[in-house]
Each structure stands twice: as C-alpha cells, then as structure tokens.
Structure 1
Amino acid sequence: MHVLKRPAALAAAAVLSVALAACGTTSNGGEVSAQSLASQVAYNPQPYDNIRDGGTLTTSLPELTPQFNNWQSDGATVDGAQVWSWYNPDLITFTADGKAVFDPDYLTDVKQETVDGNTRVTYTINPKAVYNDGTPIDWTSFDAVWKADRGTDPAYLVASTDGYDRVSSLTPGVNSRQVVVTFRGINLWWQNLFGSLLHPKALSPAVFNQGYIDNPHPEWGAGPYTISKFDQQNGIITFERNPRWWGRKGKLDSRTFVVMEDSAALNAFKNGQIDAVSAGTKDRLAQLSGQPGTEIRKSTSLQVDYFTLNGTSPVLSDVQVRKAVLEAIDRNEITKVQLQGLGYTTAPAGSLILLPFQDGYQDDFGKVIRFDPRQAEKDLDAAGWTPGPDGVRAKNGKPLEFSYVNTGDDPIGKAIAGATAAMLKNVGIKLDIRQVPSSDFSKIITGQQFDMFYSGAVDGSPFGIAQICQLYCSDTQFLKSGVNSPANDALVRSVNTLPTAQQQYARASEAEIATFRTYGVMPTVNLPEIDAVRTGLANYGPGRYFSTTPENIGWQK
C-alpha cells in the first residue's frame, strides 16, 4: 500500500508493515548516485539477542493522524502507519533486499501453490494469537480485511483495493486457525497482502470509517506493545510492553512519539530529548554531523515526491490550464532545490508505481510532459487566458490565480513553494502560497483544501506495481487530483492480471502514461534518506525495503 507523507525534513522511521523521507555527502567530497545509494543500507542490523533489555525510544511526528485506522483512506499516512504498527499485528515484514519474512508469533506456516491456474495461499495462524480484548486471531481477521478492501462495498472508504479485489474466495482451512486465500489467476505479488489485520469488531462500515477517529482502540490491537498513554491535545502517544503478548518480548521498556514541527524536532535531538531526526537538508546535515553520540545513516527511500493539482477547483478544472501548469514547472530545478548540498545526484522521478532503481522503471511522465514554458503560454492562450498589464493572465475579468498550501516550517518546503511560484509567474499564473502547521497535513489532504499541493508517496513494500489501482483508478481515495478518468480503469486494472513481471511492467507504463495525460499529478524526485540517530540504536533507519517488528528495535548491547 502506498501511504502519504510530507516531503521536507521528516522524522526517521522504520515503517513496520503497511506504509504519504531524505541523502548524503561521501567521505571524499564526491557525489553519490541514486543507483549506488540504493545498494547501501544503514539501519544497524542486529540479531534479537544482541539488543539489550530495557531503555526507551522517543522520536517526533509532524502530527498524530486523527484517523487511527491504517486501512481507512484517511489513515494511509506514514505517520499513521508508524503508530498503527506499534500496537497492531505485523504478520509480514521485509528484508533490505525485499524478501518477505513471516512472523512465527502470528503465522506458523505459509504455503503458496498454483491450483488450476490460480494462486492459492494457505496461512496457518499461531494458536496462541489473540487480540488484547481476548478475541482469538483466526481466519475471520483475514476475512475482515478482505471484505473491507475488496472494493465491492462502496461504504468502505479504503486506502487500496489492489490485490484484495482479485481474491475469489477466502475460507477457513482445517480449522479456524487456518485460512485459505484463492485468487483469480496468477498473483505475482501476493506477499504484499495481509501484512496486518483488522479486528472483526471493526468491520462494520460505520466503525471502519469513523470508529478510530481520535480513538486508537488498543483493545483491538495485538503485539509486543500496547498503548500506555494517548494525549491527542498535546500530541503524545506512548507504548509499553503488552502483558497479553505471547511471543518474544519487546526489548524497549517504552516507545514514545511526540508531535513537533521540523525545527523543534531538530533542536530536541540536539538537546537529547529525542533519539532520531531527519538530516535530509544541507543545513540540518551540517548541524547534526559530528554531534557527540550521533550516527548519520544514509540510504535510499521508497518515497517519490509529487505535485497534485486539484481538478475540482474552479481554475484547475480546465484540462488546458493543468497541462500548462505542469509544462511551466522544471522538475530538474525542483530536484536541485531538494538535494542541494547533500552530495547526491539523481534524475527527476518519472513514475509513482516504480522507483528509479527498480526493474521495469521508466520515466513515464517525461513521455507526456516536458518543461516548456513557451508551450504553456500557447496552451493558456488557446484556453482564453490573456496576459494583463501586471503580467497575470485573466479570462472574463478573473485573474489566473490559485493557492498552494505548504505544511510545516522546514525551509526546503518553503523553497519549493517559492520556486514553483516563480516558474508559474513566468507564464502569467499567480500562485498564492498559504502556510499552515504540520498538524494540518491530514486535514488539508483529506478535505482537499488546496488547489496545488506537494507531498510524497511511500511504498509500504517492494511491490509498488501491485498498487497501481490505488494510484490511478478513477475511484482512488489516495491521489486527490480528482481527474483520474474512468476510461483508463480497464487498462489500469489489467496490469496485475498478466502472468509475468515483464508483461506487467510494460502494461503498467502504458497505463501510467494514459493517466498522466489527465494532468493531475507530477512526480519530481525519489528522495534518499539521511537520518541522525543516537549511536547504538539497532534495526532502525534507512534500509531500502527493510522493515521489522517492534520487539526487534532497541539499543545494541
């Protein structure tokens, strides 16, 4: 599942299961390429037995997402995923190389086979597995995920239906602690599904959509940790060891998230109040490098930043205007703004479904739009927008003007907003920049309270292509442009029905190009990740596809 993230300097995160990130100078002063950084990991991998018992971990978040249900569309943010994963089941995690790891505390066996041309997966559940309220974890939890996410009931506002919509049957196996999932045809990316579970008590649409708002429901969770403190008003949530946990105990005594703006988080780390922070800008890296007891950890991220144009807003409802806006923006310049001073080079990202270092990647956006201010002017002329005496175009007495919302106080976010406004001014468009706190991120996104917005999409697994419909189907709850065309739905949905990865890559590129021609989004850059971390923090930090379960995070012996 893709999740939303703010794109500027963000708190370091080990995204533990489902997942809306940051680069570095080399020791010899040269530059690191995207491809070479993708081969590196920097999360201090340590076996469970080499992590000491005890200690605390505190990091910052830009907000505590009001929607705590990570399966619901409004909860599909990186901040929400981090919190969810600390007190809900994590059945499947991934190694840095993208190999799936099934947690034996939840799954004692997983068997995949092909039967009559269909992929069939049998999950055998640990008989000790139980939710905090005493409800057994059995096949009905898988069934709850499927019923909510398969896309047949529009009452469920889900983050993604991809993969679940291709399940033909889900039944108990030899007993209630076994579940048999059968797909229609071959599913190459089945390991992308059922990474977490939904308590059956949360299955009704009303509870699914509304029941978790400002209410995390720890009693419906399970795992080595549970919530010990939740203070929405002051932005604090703390987890402590779960007395109902049947598996390997968590190494940390407690784990806390505190809501902070970027500048406050930077100072909090320097003052010893938090244990990790993003170092993903030139100024932050300079301030954090060489700090006593601090490691700078660098690797690639699974994040692509992108612009969204709200096609439901009056000015941007005109497809010619949206096309002109995208033609007026230089992706190379946006990339330079984000990566300045980090000793890192990469071409602009041209896809939201595959990352530049993955097999099958193509610059699909570059096949649709190229930076061409003169063509943008021609498109605006043809649409009836004529330049005024102040340089701002107008039509029927109304100026060509709309808003850009920027969240948080990080200077890079402000620089991107300013650079974008300057580029659009060159073709006669006035961009009004509206600055809001980081804590308004979810409100702005879910309420579509913007004309233009800049954010990031993070893939929660190695299989980004598996979530193509989440991005490009016309009923998506993820992308907020509102312009994905139903005419493209059949093409988009056909991608994951093909039997080989290479066939899917080719079809996905075709589908992505068709969707980019609706001019609702513009990918810009696949960010690297640079984190400043307290020395000795284990299994935490940038590691390509790496994710782990909470009990494995702690302080190295």
Structure 2
Amino acid sequence: MLAALALAAAACGGSDTRTPSGSPVTGGTFTHALGADPGVLDPATGVLTATNLVLSVAYESLVTVDANGAIAPWLAEKWEVRPDAVTFTLRKDVTCSDGSELTPADVAANVNHITDPATKSPVNGVLVPAGMKATADDAAGTVTFTTPKPFSFILESARSIFIVCGKGVKDRASIARATSGTGPYTLTEAVPGDHYTFAVRREHAWGPGGATAKDLPDKVVLKVVPNEQTAANMLVAGTINGAVFYGADRVRMEQTPGVTATKLPNGQAQFFYHQGDDRPTKDPALRKALTQAVNLKELGGIVTGNTGGPATGMVTEPRPCKGDSVAGHVPAFDLAAATAALDAAGWKPGADGVRTKDGKRLKLRYLYVTTRGAGVQAGAEYLAAAWKKAGVEIELKGVLDTKLAESLNATQDWDVVYLPIGVNLPSQLIGFLSGPAAPKGGNFAHLSNTAYTDLVTEAMRTPGPDGCARWLQAESALFDNADLVPVADMTVLQAAKGATYDMSMGLLNPSTFRLTQGG
C-alpha cells in the first residue's frame, strides 16, 4: 500500500518553463501518456498512479482545493463541519454518465462500501478515515460523514474520494473496465496494456469554479507508454499531447521548442530505519550517528537528479499545514562527530574497518526499488560509500516495485529502506508511523515514538488548520528521534504540446483540457 502511495503524489502548483503557443481548438482528441496499465477501474481499489490518473477523467469529488490550497466546492455546494462529522449539501444539477441524478444516497454508498471490512478496500484507513460512516438525507439533499472519534481533517479527506454514481453504485463489478461517474468524460473503450478512450459529456456544467464541457475536446485517449523516452519522442512528434516525466528526459522536455513544461511537487524522498527488537537500528544513538554520517544535501541532489529541493516535511503540496517540520530537527553532516558517536555507543572499529559490538558486525541491509530511476540506484551506492567511511558494512538490496511490499512487510529482510511517500494529509500517515507493526499492521518500520503518537492524538481532536502546530510538531518528533530521515522534496515535470491542461494531487483536471493550433 505505501509503495503505491509513493507513486501517486504530484500536486497542483509549479512553474512553467515554456509557454504554450496557438489559440484554442474546438473538438478533436486530447492524448496523454499513461506510465502503466491501470488495472481494475473501481475507485475503491485505486491506489496506483496510473489507476487514479484514469479515474480522474471520469470521476469527481465532493470538494476540491483552490489556487491557495483552501477547500472549495465541487459536487457539494456547501458544508458544515463538527469535530467528528461533516454534512455536505449537494448541488442539484449533477448527473451521472448514465443520465441518472446524483443523490446523497449514492455518495453515502461510496463511503460505506470502502469502510466495510468485507470489501477489503486498500484505501480504507488511508484516503478514507478508518471507521467513517455515511448517512444520506435525499429529501434535504445532504449527506453526513461521521467518525468514531474527532478527526481533524474530516472535511479535507473528502477531496480524495471519487464518487461512483448511477449503475456502478449497485454493481461494482460493472466498473472494473468501465466508468460510472459525474465527470466530463465517460469511458467508451478499454484496451488493457494499450489505451483507454473517453467521450465528452457536453451537458457537464458543474466543474470546479463553474467550468463546463463547452470547449473541451471531443475525446480523450490515455495511451499506455511505460518507457519515458518513448513518451518524450511521441510528445515531440506530436502523437501525444501530454505526459509526466520523472527521469532524465525532463531536461530534454524543458529545452524542446513548442513544449510547455511545468514542475510539480511529487512527494518526499526519505529513508526509514527498522526498529525491530532484533535490529541494531533499534538504538536511537546508532540511528542518529548514521544520519550524521551522510551529507543529505548531496544525497538529495543524487536521488532527484538535482530536480528537487530541501526537505521540508512529510506531506505534499497542497498540504493543509504550512510550515517546515525538518529544519533544526535533523543533525548536520559531520563525519567526525558521527564516528565519535558510534564509538560512544559501543561500536568499535574491527581489523577490517567494520565496527563490531558484543561480537556482532555492524552490517545493514539497504532496501530500495530498482525501477525508480538511475538516481535511486546512485543514491544507494552513495549511502553505502558514506556509511563505509564510518565503519558500516552495507548490503544493497534492490527489488522490483512489485516485490517491495513483500520485502517491506512480509519477509522484513531490511534494516534501512529508501521509500518516497506521497500523501496530502498528515493523518494518512498514522497507520504507517505508529500502531501494530508489520506483518500484523501497516507500521512497517516498527516505530514506537511516544511523542509522535501523543501529538497526533491531540492534533486529531482539533479541526483542520487549528491543529496544524501539533501535526508539524509530530513530524519533527520523528526526525528528532531519527525514526526516518528526510532527504529532499521531489518534483515531476508535466509536459504538453499542442494542448494545455492542469494537474492537481497527481491527477488530471479534465475540465482544463484544451487543444491549441500551432502547438
């Protein structure tokens, strides 16, 4: 689950490095690259980047965020918030792709389906708060979400819930390769591994900020293009209109005439220490010494290809709590101080330079995904070299992303793991950073930070922004204890040619699709 979230984290905002040319064109087909096949298209199972990118063309949420990151109306026109409940009043002009009216009962059914233990939805407890229930009042046009205890982001969490309506509510199997949503497009053809074609709904008139489907392209094609270099070639040739780039082709896109390149936030690069009872990294003194032995600025430049920035926290923009939870809570690079701390912790250099304590060598297994680009591999090698200078033996353990969850949770065969995370609410991290340890729970690193859990408990009682000081302090408590080490804030590059469009939270905003002449 966490690996999937780590892939799904771009957000709105950013800066254009080139401006589009040409005037808008009516009709036509907008084509966007899709990095992988999305698989099943039921929003209740959507955890992968590719899946949610497809879903965002056909489905909408109750609320969205505006340019300043504030919650704004979408399918809901207004709301009332209490510490453990939020009541939404729906717009009255919204219809589903099958022509039926969107009802509060439809919305309630979405939440209750996800939180029903029998469905085993992977977004339950992450995108949708654990234990949340929904009740509808169709006569009043309202739906109410409640949680067992006060939940500070009960309103904000609604922006991550795609609303299934119409026939899809009663027959979830029908949307495995189809869509049943309120969005401006509906899926008309699904060819797994190749492409997904959508047709416009001209009657759509309830987009964010009053957007309508009047000037949208007739069709949208999401073309499966797993190779970024191939996607770059297709964009330059004009056979696709948009793509998102993580790796080396970013520079090429920024320098290509006619291509609009926009840098977007994309989660946080960081590594975690395993704190199981049998692990040397259970000792905070060792974790802090290991952290101090690494030049994190250099490491951040390597893993991001110098496309990121200094780490500022654990939540991606647009995040509800502004501020830097990292500064002053991570020790500065100092190899001499690190080696002195290792000595003080009882780890003494052996004849071959590797430190030992109580007859055990200081050997750590470093887990990372090999398919995340050359920077991740280079970063692993950089870390191994840095820790070798401090007297640590490192075994690099690279795995495919399909094997990460098994290594992370089931076999537990790692001591340090490089794991970018992309979430937009701090509450979405709680299950990974506290509670039952893997394999019984989502706490894969076996963290047990009392300061973090106390601060989170207090923050959860306070609605929205009023609890932000505690949320930021909770993150800082993790860094103070060297439970994990923030390396860099990452970015991706959104590139377009012959078209303009926006992305938010790693999702497409179909209401902004426009084809252009001379692009």
TM range (shorter): 0.7 to 0.9
Aligned to 1:218: 178
Counterpart pick for 1:352 among 292, 296, 314: 314
Aligned to 2:196: 238
Pair 1:98 & 2:65 matched: no
Alignment of 1:151-230 (within 5 A): 157-158=122-123, 160=125, 164=129, 170-175=134-139, 178-181=142-145, 190-193=155-158, 195-197=160-162, 199=164, 216-218=176-178, 223=183, 224-226=185-187, 228-230=189-191
Q: Distance in 2 between matches of 1:341 and 1:383?
A: 35
Q: Distance in 2 between matches of 1:187 and 1:288?
A: 40
SS at match of 1:241: strand
Q: Distance in 2 between matches of 1:174 and 1:93?
A: 23
Q: Distance in 2 between matches of 1:261 and 1:325?
A: 36
Describe the shift of the 1:178–1:42 C-alpha distance in structure 2 as closer, same or farther (beyond 3 A). Answer: farther
Alignment of 1:25-40 (within 5 A): 40=15
CA contact (8 A) 1:251 1:551 kept: no
Return the offset for 1:57.
0.9
Describe the shift of the 1:261–1:391 C-alpha distance in structure 2 as closer, same or farther (beyond 3 A). Answer: farther
CA contact (8 A) 1:38 1:357 kept: no
Which amino acid in structure 1 is aligned with residue 222 of structure 2? Answer: T
Describe the shift of the 1:165–1:365 C-alpha distance in structure 2 as closer, same or farther (beyond 3 A). Answer: farther
SS at match of 2:420: strand
Which amino acid in structure 2 is aligned with residue 507 of structure 1? Answer: R
Aligned to 2:78: 111
Alignment of 1:315-464 (within 5 A): 315=279, 318-320=282-284, 321-338=286-303, 346=309, 348-353=310-315, 360-364=322-326, 366-367=328-329, 369-378=331-340, 380-381=342-343, 385-394=347-356, 396=359, 400-408=363-371, 410-436=373-399, 451=414, 452-460=416-424, 464=425
Which amino acid in structure 2 is aligned with residue 504 of structure 1? Answer: G
Which amino acid in structure 2 is aligned with residue 454 of structure 1? Answer: Y
Return the offset for 1:352.
0.7
SS at match of 1:457: coil
CA contact (8 A) 2:200 2:219 kept: no
Which amino acid in structure 1 is aligned with residue 461 of structure 2? Answer: T
CA contact (8 A) 1:59 1:274 kept: yes
Q: Distance in 2 between matches of 1:504 and 1:174?
A: 33
Pair 1:489 & 2:489 matched: no
Counterpart pick for 1:522 among 465, 485, 503: 485
Alignment of 1:523-538 (within 5 A): 523-534=486-497, 536-538=498-500
Gaps of 5+ in 2: 206-211
Q: TM-score, normalised by structure 2?
A: 0.75
Q: Whose RCO is larger (CA < 8 A, sep 6+)?
A: 1
CA contact (8 A) 1:95 1:547 kept: no
More displaced stretch, 406-415 vs 216-225: 216-225
CA contact (8 A) 2:114 2:123 kept: yes
Q: Distance in 2 between matches of 1:479 and 1:257?
A: 36
More displaced stretch, 154-163 vs 218-227: 154-163
Counterpart pick for 2:268 among 304, 318, 321: 304
Pair 1:123 & 2:94 matched: no
Which amino acid in structure 2 is aligned with residue 98 of structure 1? Answer: G
Return the offset for 1:420.
1.5
Return the offset for 1:489.
3.1
CA contact (8 A) 2:69 2:320 kept: no
SS at match of 1:129: coil
Q: Deviations for 1:43-72, whole angstroms, at most 9, x for unmatched residues? A: 9799xx9552122313141x4466755555
CA contact (8 A) 1:87 1:218 kept: no
Aligned to 2:515: 555
Aligned to 2:221: 255
Q: Distance in 2 between matches of 1:546 and 1:435?
A: 26
SS at match of 1:76: coil
Percent identity, please. Answer: 18
CA contact (8 A) 2:94 2:182 kept: no
Q: Distance in 2 between matches of 1:376 and 1:70?
A: 47
Q: TM-score, normalised by structure 1?
A: 0.70
Gaps of 5+ in 1: 8-18, 23-36
SS at match of 2:475: helix
Q: Distance in 2 between matches of 1:128 and 1:357?
A: 28
Return the offset for 1:292.
4.3
Pair 1:539 & 2:505 matched: no
SS at match of 1:251: coil
Q: Distance in 2 between matches of 1:237 and 1:485?
A: 46
SS at match of 2:269: strand
Return the offset for 1:537.
1.8
Q: Distance in 2 between matches of 1:154 and 1:251?
A: 36
Describe the shift of the 1:366–1:471 C-alpha distance in structure 2 as closer, same or farther (beyond 3 A). Answer: farther
Describe the shift of the 1:401–1:39 C-alpha distance in structure 2 as closer, same or farther (beyond 3 A). Answer: closer
